Amino acid sequence: MKNKRLLSIIMPLMIPFILLTLPAIQGCNNTLSGQLAVYVWEGYLPEDVATLFEKETGIKLDITLISDSEEMLTLLKGGGKADIIMPTDSKINLFYESDVVQPLNLNKIKNYEKVFDSLREQPWAKWDGRNTGSGALYAVPYVFGTSGLVINTYQYKKSLDNIGWEVLFDPDLKGRVTSDNGIFSVFLILDMLGIPRENFVTDPQGTLMQIRGKTVELKNNVLKFWDTYSEILDLMQNEEVWVGTIADGLGRKLYQSDPKFKYILPKEGGLGWTDALMIPKNAANLSGANLFINFMLKPDNAAKVIEQSGFNTAVNGALELTENIDTDLYRYTDEEMSNFKWSPGLSENIMSIYYQFWEELSTVQK
């Protein structure tokens, strides 16, 4: 009887509290449901990691594989819907200029503190509405690495000591070479000739004309320029080509499939790059997007990405949690890291000039 009398007193007092907290409870339930659309690079979201995210959150992943940052941007500008995108650091300013991304709320991404100190708060990750380098944080480093050379050591018999980008131009390798069908193939020529990459930013037209002859020479030596990760792997494994440019993660995969494939940083220094997690302005599931970024920054989840993709992540402690891989393949010496060449930010105007140049070269007869 006393309990009933007590409830009759308490319940009227509790009703306002229940009504106030109901929206928050409902909001929480909405977070743990629905879909999350992700534009992701091939290999960056292993199936078991995606499955674990869905199991833990109740959110179904809608995954679109992409092979280029500009492809992501084109999809978004064309009306494509995504909650998570992963552009490369040198192309992130294109997303700022196109006004298709939103600042991040780090209160919702607690695991940001697990990102390597050296990669946190990078200038390309900030945007103040007009310039990169200041303002709100828009991007979280996710995967980082280098691009360099891959050599089939059974077929290529010359010395690998002090090897550089010039190997791609070796006339003895004509038709046995491949390179990235993108701006990286321009950067490597700039590096080889000792032309600062900043020249390409300040005078893109003049700089491209300066290297036109060398670019045609490269074009005439390659069997083909590769577009996708699968394509470069197939070209090397089928021994259609013996030497090529490649990202370090793919170089590791080739080595693990057959030790005859050797990944090498050229003497000029490999290209350093970072692919970052960002949230588009039109994200339909903002809560889910924050959950996804936080989930991918957990060291145990990042370790699975390393194991299955061959790429290193920006998450401190992840490499130490990996199993059955040679972690020495993922480490760079201080000297190597000091020699990395990082790409400058490239505006839409600069990219337009580059595309015109690259397209014009496709018509040049070998």
Residue 334 within any structural domain of the chain: no
> Is 37 a residue whose pLDDT tops 70?
yes
208 falls within a domain? yes
Q: Report yes or no on 336 lying in a domain.
A: no
Q: How many domains does the chain have?
A: 3
The answer on 265 and 279 residing in a single domain is no
Find the mean pLDDT for residues 219-227.
96
Q: Which of 224, 153, 154 is nearest to 185 (CA)?
A: 224
Give the integer Cα–Cα distance in Å for 69 and 73.
6
Confidence of residue 32 (pLDDT cuts 50, 70, 90): low
CA dist., res. 334 & res. 362, Å (int): 39
* Confidence at 42, pLDDT banded by 50, 70, 90: confident
Which sign, positive or negative, has the C-alpha torsion 268, 269, 270, 274?
Answer: negative
Structural domain of residue 6, as residue ranges?
1-26
CA distance 331 to 149: 17
pLDDT of residue 334: 82
Q: CB neighbours of 313 closer than 8 A, spacing ≥ 6?
A: 142, 143, 144, 302, 305, 306, 319
Characterize the bridge pairing of strands 222-226 and 261-264. Answer: unpaired
Answer yes or no: do 171 and 204 share one domain: yes
Q: Does some domain include residue 352?
A: yes
CATH number of the domain that 322 lies in? 3.40.190.10
Residues 226 and 302 both lie in one domain = no
Is the per-residue pLDDT at 11 higher than 60?
no
Provide the 3-class DSSP secondary structure of residue 182: coil
In tens, the pLDDT along 240-285 reads 999 999 999 999 999 999 999 999 999 999 899 999 999 999 999 9
Are both 350 and 232 inside the same structural domain? yes
Residue 339 counted as domain residue: no
Confidence at 366, pLDDT banded by 50, 70, 90:
low
145-179 as b/e: b if 16+ CB within 10 A:
bbbbbbbbeeebeeeeeebbbebbbeeebeebbbb
pLDDT attached to residue 33: 63
Are 18 and 85 within one domain? Answer: no
153 & 264 share domain: yes
Task: Check whether 2 has a pLDDT greater than 50.
Answer: no
The pLDDT of residue 67 is 83
Is there a single domain that holds both residue 123 and residue 58? yes
Could you identify the residue written with the tokens 């050797």? 262
pLDDT at 363: 83
Is residue 167 located within the same domain as residue 84?
no
**For residue 118, what pLDDT is reported?**
85
Residue 366 lies in a domain: no
Question: Taking Cα atoms as reference points, which of 336, 301, 333 lies closest to residue 317?
Answer: 301
For residue range 96-122, what is the model confidence (pLDDT) as tens digits? Answer: 999 999 999 999 999 999 999 888 888
Q: What's the pLDDT at 342?
A: 87
Based on the domain organization, do 130 and 232 belong to the same domain? no
Which of 278, 268, 282, 280 is closest to 340 using CA atoms?
Answer: 268
State the burial class of residue 28 (Cβ atoms within 10 Å of its Cβ: 0-12, 13-18, 19+).
exposed
Q: Does residue 210 carry a pLDDT above 70?
A: yes
Residues 303-330 have pLDDT tens digits of 999 998 899 999 999 999 999 899 998 9
pLDDT score for 333: 85
SS3 41: strand
Give CA–CA dist 241/38, Å, rounded.
33
Domain co-membership, 16 together with 49? no
130: which residues sit within 8 A by CB, 6+ positions away?
none
The kind and range of the H/E element at 87 are none
Residue 344's CB is within 10 A of a number of other CB atoms, namely: 18
Residue 249's nearest CA partner among 306, 181, 185 is: 306
In this structure, the answer to whether residues 163 and 254 fall within a common structural domain is yes
